[in-house]
Structure 1
């Protein structure tokens, strides 16, 4: 299985909670969209059509501040989700509403770490996805997920 760590260039901020103090909301959104596009790009190149939630934690402060209660009430460990729902779950994870791992055994996974790190693993080498993600300004480096 191939695995990469996706990171942003700037280490000036590492968390959504820093919006308004270390960066503006608009700047945050640009970075968040790059991460979501990276997930979609690797998903498309891998060719999966659904993935399973294998770990999930919800943080009450984030759930309330992001108005995510309704969405998260329909999410549970073991649930199969498609790309649109994965992107929404990833967005909530990047915004500190929850933490999750999603996987389809020996095919594809997305894990989220501290300091705005994201880990993607696939059964393919995904050279097109790597190039597209790097062109967006994100860093892609081979790395074993510490959440595997």
Structure 2
């Protein structure tokens, strides 16, 4: 069971991340990083460029969550109101008419990634439909 309440992430990367691959994010002293990519090689080919929007601005490599948001203590001392931190991800030019599997993961020194169990990641799919081509007859130019 994953423990979220009371968890305090430590910025950086795990030793395993450093040994198995070069993490794509620049380390920040006060934030954990989030990076999205195509889950499989075909998805990587189709996903295109990504821009991340976080509270600290815009980035082309990774989004970030400030450690100021942690630890999450539920609704205690929040008067039953909790505003979650955000990271928006904009896919700039995904290949149209193709289902793309996206995997976004979080990096932290005490955040251990496990693709099989789904730990430290989220998955979703995007599909961008090409707009239909209009002919001059459809556009009313007869």
Q: Same fold (TM over 0.5)?
A: no
More helix by share: 1
Larger CA Rg, structure 1 vs 2: 2
Higher relative contact order (CA 8 A, sep 6+): 1
Query: Could you state the TM-score of these two structures normalised by the residue count of structure 1?
Result: 0.30
